[in-house]
Amino acid sequence: MMKPTELTRRALLRGAGSGLGAMALATILAEEAKAAAVRHDPTIPRPPHHEPKAKRVIFLFMEGAPSHIDLFDPKPKLNEMAGQPMPASFGRPITATGTANNTLMGSPRQWKQHGKAGIWISELYPHIARHADKLAVLRSCQSDGLNHASGVGQMNTGEILSGRPSLGAWVTYGLGTANRNLPTFVSMIDEREPFGNAKNWGSGFLPAVYQGTLFRQGPNQILNTQLRPGVTDERQRAQMALLAAQNREYAELHPDDTGLQARLRSFELAYELQRSGPEAVDLSQETEATKKLYGLNRPETAVFGRNCLMGRRLLERGVRFVELYCGSGSGWDAHTNLEGNHKKWCKALDQPVAALLEDLERRGMLDDTLVIWGGEFGRTPFNEKGDGRDHNPWGFTMVFAGGGVKGGQTIGATDEIGLRAVERPVHVHDIHASILWLLGLDHLRLTYQHNGRAERPTMLGGEPRRAARLDFLPSLGCAGGRRRRGGLFQRLHLAGEALQRVFPRGRESHGGGVKLKRAQLTPRFKQPRVQLALHRVHGAIHRVHVEQPLKRTLARRRRTDEKVAQRFLMQKHETLEVRIACLHRRRHGRRAARAQHGRLAPTRDQLKLHTGLFARVDITRLPAAALGNVMVGNALRFARKQRPLDGREQAALPRAVRPVDDVQRLIEGNGYSIADAAPMRGFEPHQTETGRGRHRALLAQQPVDRRRRVLKFTEITVVLFLQPRSHGGGAVLFSQRQPLVQPFADFGRHRRGAGIGH
Partner 1 sequence: MLAVSGLMDPAMGGPGVFPTAPAGTEIQEGRHWRKSNGPADEYRRSVYIFARRLVRYPMLESFDAPLAFESCGRRQETITPDQALELMNGQTVAGFAKALAGRVANDSGQTPTELVNRAYRLTLGRAPTEEEAARSQAFLGRGGEGALEDLALSLLGTSEFLYID
Binding site for partner 1 (CB under 8 A): 149, 161-163, 183, 192-193, 195-199, 202-203, 208-209, 211, 213-214, 216, 218-220, 222-228, 230-231, 235-236, 238-240, 242-243, 245-247, 249-251, 254, 257, 259-260, 262-264, 266-267, 269-271, 273-274, 329
Which positions ≥6 away from 601 have C-beta within 8 Å?
672, 673, 675, 676, 755
Of the candidates 542, 443, 559, the residue with the CA atom closest to the CA atom of residue 491: 542
CB of 185 to partner 1, least distance (A): 11
How many secondary structure helices (H) and strands (E) does the chain include?
Answer: 22, 27
CB of 184 to partner 1, least distance (A): 11
Q: Which is nearer to partner 1, 350 or 455 (CB)?
A: 455
CB of 327 to partner 1, least distance (A): 15
**Pairing relationship of beta strands 321-326 and 421-423 according to DSSP bridges:** unpaired
Q: Give the Cα separation of 191 and 185 in Å (integer).
A: 19
Q: Which is nearer to partner 1, 16 or 57 (CB)?
A: 16
CB of 682 to partner 1, least distance (A): 16
CB of 213 to partner 1, least distance (A): 6
Q: Give the Cα separation of 395 and 372 in Å (integer).
A: 17
Q: Which is nearer to partner 1, 149 or 460 (CB)?
A: 149
Q: Which is nearer to partner 1, 406 or 450 (CB)?
A: 450
Q: Which is nearer to partner 1, 506 or 755 (CB)?
A: 755
CB of 264 to partner 1, least distance (A): 8
CB of 65 to partner 1, least distance (A): 17
Q: How far is CA 754 from the centre of its chain?
A: 25
For residue 577, which phi and psi values (nearest 5 degrees)? -105, 125
With vertex at residue 322, the alpha carbon angle to CA 317 and CA 324, rounded to the nearest 5 degrees, is: 130
Q: Which is nearer to partner 1, 265 or 706 (CB)?
A: 265
Q: Which is nearer to partner 1, 153 or 685 (CB)?
A: 153
Q: Give the Cα separation of 458 and 500 in Å (integer).
A: 13
CB of 609 to partner 1, least distance (A): 13
Q: Which is nearer to partner 1, 254 or 696 (CB)?
A: 254
CB of 202 to partner 1, least distance (A): 6
Q: Give the Cα separation of 125 and 110 in Å (integer).
A: 11
Which positions ≥6 away from 230 have C-beta within 8 Å?
none
CB of 325 to partner 1, least distance (A): 14
- Residue 60 is given by DSSP the state E
Dihedral sign, CA of 699, 704, 706, 710? positive
Q: Which is nearer to partner 1, 5 or 527 (CB)?
A: 5
Q: Which is nearer to partner 1, 217 or 629 (CB)?
A: 217
Q: Give the Cα separation of 328 and 325 in Å (integer).
A: 5
Q: Which is nearer to partner 1, 264 or 470 (CB)?
A: 264
Angle between helices 633-641 and 660-669 (to 10 degrees): 130
Q: Which is nearer to partner 1, 65 or 498 (CB)?
A: 65
Which alpha helices (DSSP H) does 410-486 contain, by range? 428-438, 464-468
CB of 148 to partner 1, least distance (A): 9
Q: For residue 231, give Cα distances in angstroms to 28, 186, 227.
A: 27, 28, 6
Q: Which is nearer to partner 1, 93 or 183 (CB)?
A: 183
Q: Give the Cα separation of 152 and 139 in Å (integer).
A: 18
Q: Which is nearer to partner 1, 101 or 220 (CB)?
A: 220
Q: Which is nearer to partner 1, 729 or 753 (CB)?
A: 753
Which alpha helices (DSSP H) does 423-474 contain, by range? 428-438, 464-468
CB of 751 to partner 1, least distance (A): 16
Q: How far is CA 664 from the centre of its chain?
A: 33
Q: Give the Cα separation of 45 and 179 in Å (integer).
A: 9
Of the candidates 354, 266, 343, the residue with the CA atom closest to the CA atom of residue 309: 354
196 neighbors 153 (Cβ within 8 angstroms): yes
Q: How many CA atoms lie within 13 A of 408 on its CB side?
A: 7
Q: Give the Cα separation of 414 and 392 in Å (integer).
A: 12
CB of 345 to partner 1, least distance (A): 19
CB of 256 to partner 1, least distance (A): 12
Q: Give the Cα separation of 123 and 705 in Å (integer).
A: 67
Of the candidates 502, 465, 474, 499, the residue with the CA atom closest to the CA atom of residue 618: 499
How many residues in the chain?
A: 758
With vertex at residue 509, the alpha carbon angle to CA 739 and CA 606, rounded to the nearest 5 degrees, is: 55
CB of 56 to partner 1, least distance (A): 19
Burial of residue 428 (CB within 10 Å: 0-12, 13-18, 19+) is buried
In which element (H, E) is residue 351 found?
helix 338-362
